[in-house]
A and B are shown apart, each in its own frame.
Chain A
């Protein structure tokens, strides 16, 4: 039977290697048995076709011989895989943002946004791919995560209400922001540093240029904090807004760090430590350089801290969104 030969040849391609020939021989004898009992000894091509149609596509027939199903990463490993991918992605993206912040702060090479975005886009599939390959190998060698035999229910983690806002933190944030805002807007000439020998005050020459942006960013943060205090709970909208406010802060901080870098570069300033070392010889100008270095360092640290906080926020937000359909909160909000 030509058609049966072709059918079995196709089945063979998808069968597991183990016992392949044996399975094929059995399938052949069963097919002929079935054909004979249905259509007699000299069955026509048409009757063979009907029989094969009934048996199903070759790939399906072959698949039923794979005892554990065919998985790249099976259900036993999948939860662990998801967790590791999440951690790896957060770490890689966090490191990348940190590297950008440092690149902007040091300002040695021009920072090109498109290059940075391209390298970020590159690193995501790289990370997911590498983790996937490791797990594919684990799956192939049938490594299974160990199940705890003697787990204790009382060791279960407590449920913390992550939606509750922390009032103390919010109020402190608002108060601090307002102080800075008032200082900047009302007394911009007070923001600077004192040069020691004569005790003269020297205002930061860079801040004034970016006053508008700084004010907008501070106002956005204050507004959001007050809204959160009023609401008392975090929600999806406020979380997204928090990310947006943070991104704005990151932008403004990056601008400030960059402006300080340009100012210092224009005066041929060396690194912070070198300047400190030489500064007795530099006298008054040395104070200016050290002061501006200190400002830059402070903004740089703020930039890094905000970046890390933002990555964590985005990660949590994505996780909450992905897990929503399974959570009771998600169900509740759908019903209401």
Chain B
């Protein structure tokens, strides 16, 4: 219903904004152990969260600048790869963010409970 009424680019933009906030949490949650970029993309993909490399790599660098991740080049494999993992601060932030996420998810679930899926009460037009 909504997709039919709303211009597609508006819907896409809103979805993107919604996803942008959770990507940090998703990435942090997978970096309990050392992983390199492409590996991380595949793991998130397996779990059902698609992330573009153009989004992931700059995000990893930003998180490292913020002190949440540490990274190092590892030349042992078939080619040199940059491995990222949580720093102690990153671990603390991950726990705090996870708590906040559960709280928000609970609030949102309750809020969206009385929305009819057919869009009968939607006032978007």
A: residues with CB less than 8 A from B are 19, 22-23, 25-27, 29-30, 32-34, 37, 55-56, 60-61, 64-65, 67
Contact = CB atoms under 8 A, between A and B. Distances in A.
B61 A37 contact: no
Interface of B: 36-39, 42, 53-55, 57-58, 61-62, 65, 73, 79-82
Given A25-B80, A67-B62, A30 B42 contact: no
Contacts of A37: 38, 42
Contact of A34 (B53, B54, B65, B80): B53
A65 B81 contact: no
A26 B53 contact: no
B38 A65 contact: no
The 6 closest A-B pairs by CB, nearest first: A33-B38, A64-B58, A30-B37, A26-B82, A29-B81, A30-B38
A65 B42 contact: no
A29 B61 contact: no
A29 B71 CA distance: 15
Contact of A26 (B42, B54, B57, B62): B57
Contact of B79 (A29, A55, A60, A64): A29
A110 to B, nearest CB: 59
Contacts of A27: 57
Contacts of B54: 55-56, 60-61, 64
10 contacts: A23-B57, A23-B61, A26-B82, A29-B37, A30-B37, A30-B57, A37-B42, A61-B54, A64-B55, A67-B65
Contacts of B55: 64
Contacts of A19: 61
Contacts of A34: 38, 53
Nearest to B38: A33
A30 B62 contact: no
Given A19-B61, A37-B38, A32 B79 contact: yes
Given A37-B42, A55-B53, A55-B54, A65 B61 contact: yes
A65 B42 CA distance: 22
A221 B49 CA distance: 70
Given A29-B36, A30-B38, 5 more contacts: A26-B82, A33-B39, A61-B54, A65-B58, A67-B58
Nearest to B60: A26
B41 to A, nearest CB: 8
Contacts of A64: 54-55, 57-58
Nearest to A61: B54
Contacts of B38: 29-30, 33-34, 37
Contacts of A23: 57, 61
Of listed A26, A37, A55, residue having the most chain B CB within 10 A: A26
A25 B61 CA distance: 13
A22 B53 CA distance: 16
Nearest to A56: B54
A22 B80 CA distance: 11
Contacts of A61: 54
Nearest to B58: A64
B16 to A, nearest CB: 14
Given A34-B53, A61-B54, A29 B62 contact: no
B62 to A, nearest CB: 6
Contacts of B42: 37
B24 to A, nearest CB: 14
Given A25-B80, A37-B38, A37-B42, A30 B53 contact: yes
Contacts of B79: 29, 32-33
B71 to A, nearest CB: 9
A19 B58 CA distance: 12
A298 B62 CA distance: 68
B11 to A, nearest CB: 21
A252 to B, nearest CB: 55
A61 B36 CA distance: 18
Contacts of B57: 23, 26-27, 30, 64-65
B70 to A, nearest CB: 14
